[in-house]
Every structure is written in structure tokens, then in C-alpha cells.
């Protein structure tokens, strides 16, 4: 029997809990129950046999936690535990058709961004288990709470094995996993990655899983798995609340949602499996086709493209000086600010393009995607002309993204579409090819058709291909606008594809571009545009989409529209004080007033005089108040932010005048390797920024080598390191050591070019000196004092 043949059955019966049987047997083990495979092989085989006798078609090996991390203290290797476990299960299966599934649970450490384990490291953990379990008939991932971890697992399985894969996650009563994954996102992402079945295990009793299962089935055509707990354990007796017969009846109620695999998790025993078998023998499997239209998602948020959805275009360096500078400086916060402001402006999906000749685009794409995912729930569109950048982005994306883009050129089709298929994404198809952009709608329609048929040949659903009929500048070619709209109409009507369009190009070279753009947008929407790529922070554009949704009957009862504009009435803000001094504005943290006063001062005061004789002293006064306990940290920060607003005004003034740079020097900041608490470092950053220093923020969990490389590349003489825990002070020491040992960072006489200052909750001055730091800074204020001393 193999898995494919087994799939022809109406239902596939899985086993029940292993842990429950181990617990009941009273068998003793050191650290990990998985070591019982080696110490008590007959016992484990007897448990498998009990489930096989109860009717299980597939048994899970006793390897749930058999990974490098969890086995660490047991003294056993992944390989010996897993091969023993498979042998035990196979022995039990002898003479039957039962299949053996290599069971893999979560690693036990949380992945980035919440945790410290990198996606790539998680992949390696799973890879080792999968290679060790090559003799199993299939691979099962279960009890997962993090979709990102599960994606690493599925990729590891796909790339290191040809076995079937089934995957289940565990949900809370809120209908989400601990990390906030929705059943819909899990279904979309796993389906895209090409698993053979997906569903839910553990969680709650089967009586409470209807919301999870019914949501999943809307988003996938795959058969579903339910392997629930026997209800909830009584805290005193540890007995579970749902008895075998009722358990089976509750699972029966879930069958109409396309459930094909059934079994039991915590608290279930062979008796439960026997009851499930009885129940299933009287039922017939009914597939339950998905009902949702094409969707994209992050781990927590699904966007169904069943009407116009806004893609934010702002994360893109083209024509943006500040954005380019941010990329060169590795200023990820700048990009994150753009992401958050677009979402609050109304973007539902964000395009991410970080192409710039001066940087490593592939590394930057990974870094930026991971960072955006850590603060923003909107699904993302990975935008690059380079297939290797697209693949890097697809790998580390958590959810189902859009790839931007493929076009009709053979080179593009053969490089991009296989990636789209492998990672289960949607894709933007540009209607151009080797011959350029066809002038007519017909020409573009033909290319669209070709892209769709090539996609379908690879097994990509045509609804996941979003055709872009390309906007040309109307001031250059006036007829082109009509051709774009005609092509869009035909693609939508005849190919049944979704459509997308970058809108803003239309008005290039014209005055009042906003008016042209929003009018064109409205025309395109009426022709069937699904995904306008726009600047969502321009009200006229976002407003046109929202209004269109009302007028075309998509926004039922105008609910979304009203929500968006309900409090749009101009807010009554306290009137800015006109005659406030810069000093007072900074001290009270009044941003707008500070900026306004700075503007006025610039009319007749030298910019550097404002900085040195007004702003800095004002900040110093705040700092002093903080030291004396007169004001507290948030106030200090608000004052610093006010100073920042003033600096911005001055910078703008200077760049207009083509004058000098106000930066007082560059400083590297990093939270050391292994440490992921960086709020302290970020507070220091805000203050240094606002005193006019240029901070190169390397983030948290930073490799010592990256600190050194950055210092060398950008010729930076001052480095600030932060560590929160006693356990990570060692990394701080290592980083300082590497800085001191690097020849490029030494003067000819062997002394160090770099000044290192350190801080962090558990650090003391003595310790800081012992590990070779130049300065110990107790708080953000002292960091500024130190910077002044060193850089002036």
C-alpha cells in the first residue's frame, strides 16, 4: 500500500495519542519521551499495534520532539532516535497495510521576529529530521503554532524528500494559533506550498473545531485533517472530558467540510480510534470545493481579491532620494515607517521593491521583508526584476505573496513561473515581451493569453495570475490610454484573470497630476481593474477606490466607506501657540510648534546657530530634568522627537541652500548576538538622532562580523553595543574583541580607531571596562554625553 492508493479510500484513519499511552503506562524516561524508542522498543511497538488493531491506516512515529534542540540533554542523536522509532512502527505494521508517518512537531524555540531562531536555522533542524526519517512512508508536521516555522518545515521536506506531506496546526479558542495564524492563512499558504492534506490537531475537542475547519475549507480544495483532543483535561484528575462515542459523533459533524483524515490527539486512546472507525464505515467522503476567490495573505490576514484592493506603491526607491539613501544606510526603520503609514492610509497589500545598484538587493529584500512582517499584517508583493531576488523573498515570506512580475519574454516566463509555482504565490503578468509593449489592446491581450497558458501548464491557477496591461504616459501618447483600458477589459472578460495596474504613470508631464490619476483610476476600475497600485496616502486615490466600491455595490451598505470617513471631519486641534520659544517647545514635546518656530527663526538666524545655541541646549535642559527625576522617559523621548522635527526643517533649509551637512558624525548601534530585546538601544538611537548624529542601526541579534564590516565599509569610528541579559554579555565581549583585532580598524601604531561604548540593564562599569569597552553608559542620556565627548 502507498499513500496514493490509500487516498482512494473514502476516509483515512489516523492513530490516537502516543503521549497519553506513555503516561498511562508509567514508563520512565530521561528528558524526552522519544528516547523510549531506544530504551523500551517493545512498549512503543505495542502502542502502535494497539492503534493498528483499532483500525488506523497511518500511525505516527514517536518522534514528535526528536529534534536537535529537544534531544540535546538526552545524549541521543536525532538519527538514532528517529531510525529506532521508524523500526518500532514498521514492526507493528508488519503484515498489515498500515503506513508509517514520520512525526515532526515544533522545534521548541520561537522563530524570528518574535523569537531568536532564524528561518534558515529552523530549516536545518527539520532537514536533519527528514533525512533521518527517509524510511517512513510519509511526513507529518503537527501541533504547529507558527506558520513561518511550518513553512520552513514543508520546504525542508520538499527539498530533501519525495514523500507525501501532511500538516496540521493547533488553534486556541479564539480561532487563532498562539502566534496569531488564522486557519485561512494556513490553508492558503500550505496549499500553495504543495502539501497533500492539511488541517488541525490538538487544540480543543472536536466539538469546538467547527469554526476552524469551516474557515479552512473555504480556502483550499485539499482534503482536511482533524486530529482533535478528547476535549479538555480536568485539572485535578487529568481525565479528558469527551468520551470515545461522543468524540466520533463530533468528528462526524465536521465531515461535510471535506474532512478525509481523522484521528485523535491528547487524551485519546485506541478506543477512540475504534469508535471513529465505526462511525466512518457508515459515511461517504464528500469533497468540499473552495469557495473563496483568489487570495493573498500574511500569517494573520487574508485579502480576497473579490473587488478592487489597493496595493501601496511607496516602498520603492525609484525617483526617491531619501529612500535610496535609506537603502544605502541600511536604515530599515525608514522603510518600516513607509509600510505603516501606507496601511493606515488604506493600502491592503504592499509592494516591496528595494532594487538599487549600490546595494546587495537579495540580502536587502530578505532583510526588509522580514522586518515588515514583524510589524505589519498586510500581505506583500515581492517586486524585483531579478529571479534570484524574487526567490530569496519568496523563501522568507510568511504567507502567500504576489510576485511582481513575469512578462511575455521567454526568459522571464521560464525563470519566474516555476518559482511562483514552487512557493505557491500569485503573480503579476506584464503584457510586454521581446518586442516591447504592443501598441494595441489586441497585442497586449495576446501576451496575456500566453502568460496565462504558460502558468496553467505549470499548474498555477489562472485566477492567481494578475495581468497588468501597462499604463503609458498620456501626454506622450494620448491614444495609449484607451488601448490600456480596452486590453484590461478584454483580459478581465475573456481570460477570467484578475487585473492590476500601476496608475500614476498616466499623468507624467502634466499639471494637476492627482486629478488625472484619480480620473484614470476611476475609468480603469469601471473596466474591471482589481488591483490598483497607487500611493494610498493621497486621499483622492484611496477615496476613488472606496467610492467605487460603494457605487458598484461591493461595499454593502457602505459600511467600509462610512468607517473610513466617519471621523474625517476636520479635528478640532488645540491651536498652536504662536509665541512659544524653541526651548519651551522642545521641553514640552510640542512637535508642530517646534517645527513652526524653527521655520520662523531660519528667516533671520544662521542654521548652525539654531542647532548649537538653541536646540542642543534645550535638549540638554530636558536631559538634566530627566537625570534629576523631574521628567520621565517618555517625556524625554517626546522632547527628542520635537528636536528631530526641528532638525528636519533645518536640513531641508540647508539642502535647498546646497549648504553644509548638519550631521555631527556617524555612529553604529547594535544589540548584540543572541539578544533580541532592543528597546533600550532604540531609545539611545532616538536621542542620538536628535542630537544630530547619523545612526547606522544594525538592529538586534547582530553578528560581530556585521558590526566590523559596517565600521570598515562606512569608515565609522564610534560603535555602541547593547546587551540586556547576563547570558549575552559574552557576545558583547566577542564583538569588542573582533573590533580590536581587525587590522582595518587599527591605527598604524596598533591602537584602535574605534571608540566602543556599551550599555544594558545588567552591565556595570567595571564589567564594561573588563571586556574592553571605552565607555560605559548608564542610560540614553549618558550615551549622548559620550558621543559629544568623542565626536563633538
Residues near other proteins, by CB under 8 A: 31, 106, 108-110, 113-117, 143, 145, 170, 174, 177-180, 202, 333, 336-337, 340, 374-376, 588-589, 626, 629-635, 637-638, 641, 674-679, 682-683, 686, 724-728, 731, 761-764, 778-779
For residues 427 and 406, is the Cβ–Cβ distance under 8 A? yes
Q: Which residue in 249, 250, 258, 204 sits closest to 231, CA to CA?
A: 204
CB of 15 to other proteins, least distance (A): 18
Report the residue number, 336 or 551, with the smaller CB distance to other proteins: 336
Using only the alpha carbons of the chain, give its radius of gyration: 30
CB of 201 to other proteins, least distance (A): 11
Report the residue number, 113 or 307, with the smaller CB distance to other proteins: 113
Alpha-carbon span 196 to 180, nearest angstrom: 24
CB of 397 to other proteins, least distance (A): 18
Q: What angle do CA 661, 666, 670 make, to 5 degrees?
A: 150
Report the residue number, 540 or 725, with the smaller CB distance to other proteins: 725
For residues 352 and 365, is the Cβ–Cβ distance under 8 A? yes
CB of 532 to other proteins, least distance (A): 25
What b/e sequence results for 219-234 when a residue is b if at least 16 CB atoms lie within 10 Å of its CB, and e otherwise? Answer: bbebbbbbbbbbbeee
CB of 262 to other proteins, least distance (A): 21
Tell me how crowded residue 285 is: count the other CB atoms within 10 A of its CB.
Answer: 15
For residues 333 and 301, is the Cβ–Cβ distance under 8 A? no
CB of 126 to other proteins, least distance (A): 16
DSSP 667-727: EEEEEBTT----HHHHHHHHHHHHTT-EEEE--SSB-HHHHHHHHHHHT--EEEEE--SGG
CB of 588 to other proteins, least distance (A): 7
CB of 728 to other proteins, least distance (A): 5
Q: Give the C-alpha distances (Å, rounded to integers) separating 227 from 13, 108, 192, 716, 788.
A: 10, 21, 22, 56, 62
For residues 18 and 32, is the Cβ–Cβ distance under 8 A? no
Q: Cell 497607487 belongs to which residue?
A: 534
CB of 154 to other proteins, least distance (A): 20
CB of 384 to other proteins, least distance (A): 24
Alpha-carbon span 393 to 362, nearest angstrom: 8
Report the residue number, 238 or 318, with the smaller CB distance to other proteins: 238
Report the residue number, 170 or 405, with the smaller CB distance to other proteins: 170
Alpha-carbon span 395 to 515, nearest angstrom: 40
Partners of 402 in the beta sheet? 381, 426
Q: Which residue in 165, 193, 197, 190 sits closest to 421, CA to CA?
A: 193
Positive/negative CA dihedral, 102, 103, 105, 107: negative
Report the residue number, 630 or 789, with the smaller CB distance to other proteins: 630
Q: Cell 478640532 belongs to which residue?
A: 572
Alpha-carbon span 104 to 167, nearest angstrom: 10
Report the residue number, 280 or 352, with the smaller CB distance to other proteins: 352
Q: Give the C-alpha distances (Å, rounded to integers) separating 495 from 462, 470, 471, 487.
A: 8, 17, 19, 11
Beta-strand relationship, 531-534 and 498-502:
parallel
Q: Which residue in 10, 6, 14 sits closest to 206, CA to CA?
A: 14
CB of 547 to other proteins, least distance (A): 28
CB of 643 to other proteins, least distance (A): 13
681 Cα distance to chain centroid: 23
Report the residue number, 114 or 134, with the smaller CB distance to other proteins: 114
Q: Which residue in 82, 59, 41 sits closest to 273, CA to CA?
A: 59
Q: Which residue in 200, 185, 199 sits closest to 378, CA to CA?
A: 185
Alpha-carbon span 401 to 379, nearest angstrom: 6
CB of 535 to other proteins, least distance (A): 19
CB of 240 to other proteins, least distance (A): 14
Report the residue number, 411 or 778, with the smaller CB distance to other proteins: 778
Report the residue number, 506 or 684, with the smaller CB distance to other proteins: 684
For residues 237 and 197, is the Cβ–Cβ distance under 8 A? no
For residues 187 and 257, is the Cβ–Cβ distance under 8 A? no
Alpha-carbon span 778 to 758, nearest angstrom: 9
Report the residue number, 737 or 778, with the smaller CB distance to other proteins: 778
Q: Which three cell numbers stand for residue 29?
A: 524516561
Alpha-carbon span 546 to 542, nearest angstrom: 6
Q: Which residue in 538, 530, 465 sits closest to 507, CA to CA?
A: 538
Report the residue number, 168 or 431, with the smaller CB distance to other proteins: 168
Report the residue number, 19 or 211, with the smaller CB distance to other proteins: 19
Report the residue number, 305 or 343, with the smaller CB distance to other proteins: 343
Q: Which residue in 193, 514, 502 sits closest to 353, CA to CA?
A: 502
For residues 380 and 352, is the Cβ–Cβ distance under 8 A? yes
Report the residue number, 35 or 384, with the smaller CB distance to other proteins: 35
Report the residue number, 115 or 307, with the smaller CB distance to other proteins: 115
CB of 123 to other proteins, least distance (A): 17
CB of 700 to other proteins, least distance (A): 10
Report the residue number, 243 or 632, with the smaller CB distance to other proteins: 632
CB of 80 to other proteins, least distance (A): 21
CB of 602 to other proteins, least distance (A): 26
Report the residue number, 53 or 624, with the smaller CB distance to other proteins: 624
Alpha-carbon span 444 to 213, nearest angstrom: 42
Amino acid at each position: 500500500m502507498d499513500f496514493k492508493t490509500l487516498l482512494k479510500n473514502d476516509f483515512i484513519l489516523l492513530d490516537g495519542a502516543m503521549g497519553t499511552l506513555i503516561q498511562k503506562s508509567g514508563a520512565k524516561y530521561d528528558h524526552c519521551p522519544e528516547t523510549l524508542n531506544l530504551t523500551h522498543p517493545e512498549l512503543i511497538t505495542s502502542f502502535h499495534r494497539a492503534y493498528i488493531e483499532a483500525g488506523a491506516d497511518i500511525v505516527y512515529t514517536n518522534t514528535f520532539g526528536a529534534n536537535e534542540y529537544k534531544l540535546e540533554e538526552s545524549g541521543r542523536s536525532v538519527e538514532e532516535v528517529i531510525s529506532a522509532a521508524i523500526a518500532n512502527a514498521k514492526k507493528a505494521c508488519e503484515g498489515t497495510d498500515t503506513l508509517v508517518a514520520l512525526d515532526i512537531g515544533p522545534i521548541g524555540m520561537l522563530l524570528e521576529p518574535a523569537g531568536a531562531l532564524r528561518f534558515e536555522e529552523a530549516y536545518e533542524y527539520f532537514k536533519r529530521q527528514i533525512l533521518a526519517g527517509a524510511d517512513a512512508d510519509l511526513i507529518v508536521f503537527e501541533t504547529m503554532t507558527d506558520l513561518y516555522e511550518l513553512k520552513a518545515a514543508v520546504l525542508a521536506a520538499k527539498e530533501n524528500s519525495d514523500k507525501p506531506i501532511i500538516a496540521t496546526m493547533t488553534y486556541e479558542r479564539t480561532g487563532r494559533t498562539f502566534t496569531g495564524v488564522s486557519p485561512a492563512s494556513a490553508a492558503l499558504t500550505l496549499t500553495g506550498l504543495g502539501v497533500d492534506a492539511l488541517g488541525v490537531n490538538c487544540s480543543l475537542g472536536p466539538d469546538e473545531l467547527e469554526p476552524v475547519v469551516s474557515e479552512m475549507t473555504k480556502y483550499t480544495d485539499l482534503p482536511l485533517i482533524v486530529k482533535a483532543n478528547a476535549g479538555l483535561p480536568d485539572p485535578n484528575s487529568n481525565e479528558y472530558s469527551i468520551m470515545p462515542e461522543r468524540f466520533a459523533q463530533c468528528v462526524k459533524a465536521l465531515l461535510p467540510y471535506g474532512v478525509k483524515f481523522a484521528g485523535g490527539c491528547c487524551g485519546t486512546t485506541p478506543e477512540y480510534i475504534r469508535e471513529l472507525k465505526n462511525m466512518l464505515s457508515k459515511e461517504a467522503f464528500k469533497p468540499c470545493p473552495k469557495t473563496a476567490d483568489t487570495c493573498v495573505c500574511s500569517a494573520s490576514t487574508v485579502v480576497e481579491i473579490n473587488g478592487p484592493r489597493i496595493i501601496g506603491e511607496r516602498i520603492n526607491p525609484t525617483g526617491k532620494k531619501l529612500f535610496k539613501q535609506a537603502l544605502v544606510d541600511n536604515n530599515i526603520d525608514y522603510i518600516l515607517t513607509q509600510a505603516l503609514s501606507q496601511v493606515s492610509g488604506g493600502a491592503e497589500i504592499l509592494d516591496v521593491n528595494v532594487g538599487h545598484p549600490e546595494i546587495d538587493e537579495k540580502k536587502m529584500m530578505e532583510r526588509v521583508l522580514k522586518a515588515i512582517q514583524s510589524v505589519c499584517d498586510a500581505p506583500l508583493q515581492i517586486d524585483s526584476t531579478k529571479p534570484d531576488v524574487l526567490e530569496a523573498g519568496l523563501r522568507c515570506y510568511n504567507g502567500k505573496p504576489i510576485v511582481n512580475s513575469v512578462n511575455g519574454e521567454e526568459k522571464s516566463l521560464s525563470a519566474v513561473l516555476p518559482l511562483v509555482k514552487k512557493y505557491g504565490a500569485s503573480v503579476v503578468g506584464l503584457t510586454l515581451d521581446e518586442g516591447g509593449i504592443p501598441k494595441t489592446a489586441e497585442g497586449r491581450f495576446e501576451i496575456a493569453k500566453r502568460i496565462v497558458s504558460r502558468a496553467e501548464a505549470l499548474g498555477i491557477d489562472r485566477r492567481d495570475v494578475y495581468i497588468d496591461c501597462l499604463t503609458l504616459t498620456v501626454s506622450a501618447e494620448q491614444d495609449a490610454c484607451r488601448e490600456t483600458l480596452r486590453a484590461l477589459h478584454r483580459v478581465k472578460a475573456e481570460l477570467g484573470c484578475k487585473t492590476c495596474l500601476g496608475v500614476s504613470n498616466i499623468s507624467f508631464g502634466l499639471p494637476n497630476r492627482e486629478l488625472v490619476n484619480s480620473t484614470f483610476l476611476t475609468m480603469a476600475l469601471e473596466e474591471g481593474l482589481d488591483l490598483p497600485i497607487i500611493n494610498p496616502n493621497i486621499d483622492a486615490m484611496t477615496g476613488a477606490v472606496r467610492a467605487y466600491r460603494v457605487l458598484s455595490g461591493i461595499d454593502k451598505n457602505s459600511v467600509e466607506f462610512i468607517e473610513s470617513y466617519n471621523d474625517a471631519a476636520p479635528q478640532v486641534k488645540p491651536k498652536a501657540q504662536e509665541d512659544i520659544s524653541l526651548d519651551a517647545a522642545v521641553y514640552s514635546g510640542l512637535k508642530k510648534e517646534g517645527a513652526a518656530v524653527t521655520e520662523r527663526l531660519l528667516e533671520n538666524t544662521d542654521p548652525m546657530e539654531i542647532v548649537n545655541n538653541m536646540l542642543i541646549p534645550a535638549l540638554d535642559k530636558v536631559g538634566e530634568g530627566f537625570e534629576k527625576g523631574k521628567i520621565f522617559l517618555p517625556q524625554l523621548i517626546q522632547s527628542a522627537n520635537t528636536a528631530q522635527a526641528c532638525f528636519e526643517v533645518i536640513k531641508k533649509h540647508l539642502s535647498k541652500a546646497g549648504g553644509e551637512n548638519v550631521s555631527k558624525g556617524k555612529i553604529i548601534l547594535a544589540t548584540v548576538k543572541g539578544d533580541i530585546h532592543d528597546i533600550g538601544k532604540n531609545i539611545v538611537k532616538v536621542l542620538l538622532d536628535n542630537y544630530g548624529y547619523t545612526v547606522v542601526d544594525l538592529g538586534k541579534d547582530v553578528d560581530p562580523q556585521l558590526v566590523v564590516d559596517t565600521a570598515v565599509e562606512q569608515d565609522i569610528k564610534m560603535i555602541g553595543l547593547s546587551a540586556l541579559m547576563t547570558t549575552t554579555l559574552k557576545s558583547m565581549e566577542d564583538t569588542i574583541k573582533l573590533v580590536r583585532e581587525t587590522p582595518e580598524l587599527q591605527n598604524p601604531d596598533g591602537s584602535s580607531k574605534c571608540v566602543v561604548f556599551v550599555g544594558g540593564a545588567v552591565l556595570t562599569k567595571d564589567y564594561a571596562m573588563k571586556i574592553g569597552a571605552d565607555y560605559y553608559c548608564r542610560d540614553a542620556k549618558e550615551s549622548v554625553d559620550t558621543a559629544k565627548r568623542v565626536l563633538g
